[in-house]
A = this chain, B = another copy of it.
Amino acid sequence: MMKPQLNLTHNSFLTRRSYAIIGAGAIGGFYGACLQKAGFDVHFLFNSDYQYVCQHGLVIESPNGDFNLASVQAYHDANQMPRCDVVIVALKTTNNYLLPQILPQVLKDDGVVLVLQNGWGMEEEIAQIVGSDRLIGGICFTFNYKLGAGHIRHLDYGLITLADYAPGYAAKGVTTRLCQIAADFSVAQVMIQLHEDLFLARWQKLICNIPFNGLSVILNSAIEELIANPDVRTSIEQLMAEIVAVASTYGRHIPEVYIQKRIKQTATMKHYQTSMKVDFDQGRSLEVEAIFGNPLRKAWQAGVQMPQVSMLYRQLKFFNAQNQNRFAEISVSQ
């Protein structure tokens, strides 16, 4: 295994940071590969692709330029990994129950966890494991998928919005460590946006995640079909309005122009299947709690109902349970 050339010092966080990628799928694998290509010391925790990647490395297709990493520092067991300065959590949130076993093994004492997941409340949960002063939230706006073992296609976009975490999701502003990590990603040719308020950043992303992920599964359709239908379009806008209302209750303002921009932008994505629809069609467990359940409970805490999000949540839970049973039956019968 060829190791990338690196200059590591003792207090490496102040100089050249090392990265651990927990969940090296289409998102984690892609960003990790970009960091390694730029010369960073990156350690990838793989699941099913582990053996393949050990032998063949990673192949990345991207409009920014295709590249291969003939050798990567791949692991199947977190206990084998070194402690790193930045631990990127890029698992599906449905696997976050594994983190109490993993994070204490791979996070340096002065390291930070960067949570690259969709949904709400992950930082608060992970703070229980690593402490509340060691978390940064990252919201990816990218269109990636896996073509096969060790083979990732980055089709479009790629932006990560970074925001620092404080207990209760109080706005923490732009911190030094945020700038340092942003600089690393910039070196790796990844577009970065800094956000002063992780709460607002996450609820802005929910504006898209909730309607499009939810309705694409329930209505068994691609995004363009949903947006083209005037009734579904109305439902999308009403779901978004419920999210805006909750954010507003917590003092965060999401302007109408933001919503219209997101809808317009999404409408240009031809034949685009949401990640939740892809998960559903492939029989994987849906991220129902992170994307729907946690935001709902946050709304209820403030005495706000989100009735349409609530109905979508319950419909998804029903489908998810049915889907898991169906795929379990298929597995048994094979």
| Nearest chain B residue, comparing its CB with the CB of A314 | B231
Say yes or no: A314 contacts B235, CB within 8 Å.
yes
Bitwise interface map of A from 113 to 147 toward B, beta carbon under 8 Å scored 1, else 0: 00000000000000000000000000000000000
Say yes or no: A218 contacts B307, CB within 8 Å.
no
CA of A218 to CA of B322, assembled, Å: 14
CA of A255 to CA of B218, assembled, Å: 32
With known contacts A218-B218, A219-B319, A232–B314 Cβ distance under 8 A:
yes
Please give, as numbers and ranges, the residues of chain B lying within 8 Å of A234 by CB-CB distance: 314
Give the interface residue-count category, chain A: 20 to 34
Bitwise interface map of A from 300 to 334 toward B, beta carbon under 8 Å scored 1, else 0: 00000001101111110111010000000000000
Query: Is there a chain B Cβ closer than 8 Å to A11's Cβ?
Result: no
Enumerate A228-243 residues with CB–CB distance to B below 8 Å.
229, 231-232, 234-235, 238
Please give, as numbers and ranges, the residues of chain B lying within 8 Å of A319 by CB-CB distance: 219
CA of A316 to CA of B133, assembled, Å: 47
A221, A313, A317: most-surrounded residue (chain B CB, <10 A): A317
CA of A314 to CA of B232, assembled, Å: 6
Query: Of B231, B313, B315, B318, which is within 8 A of A317 by CB?
Result: B231
Say yes or no: B219 contacts A315, CB within 8 Å.
yes
| Nearest chain B residue, comparing its CB with the CB of A320 | B231
Please give, as numbers and ranges, the residues of chain B lying within 8 Å of A311 by CB-CB distance: 235, 238, 308, 311-312
CA of A313 to CA of B234, assembled, Å: 11
Say yes or no: A318 contacts B232, CB within 8 Å.
yes
CA of A235 to CA of B310, assembled, Å: 8
Query: Of B221, B229, B318, which is within 8 A of A229 by CB?
Result: B318
A308, A311, A312, A315: most-surrounded residue (chain B CB, <10 A): A311
10 cross-chain CB contacts under 8 A: A215-B315, A218-B315, A219-B315, A219-B319, A235-B311, A235-B314, A235-B315, A238-B307, A308-B311, A311-B311
Besides A229-B318, A235-B315, 16 other A-B contacts (C-beta < 8 A): A218-B218, A219-B315, A219-B318, A221-B318, A229-B321, A231-B314, A231-B317, A232-B315, A234-B314, A235-B310, A235-B314, A238-B307, A238-B310, A238-B311, A308-B308, A308-B311
Interface residues of A (CB under 8 A from B): 215, 218-219, 221, 229, 231-232, 234-235, 238, 307-308, 310-315, 317-319, 321
3 closest residue pairs by CB, A with B: A231-B314, A307-B307, A231-B317
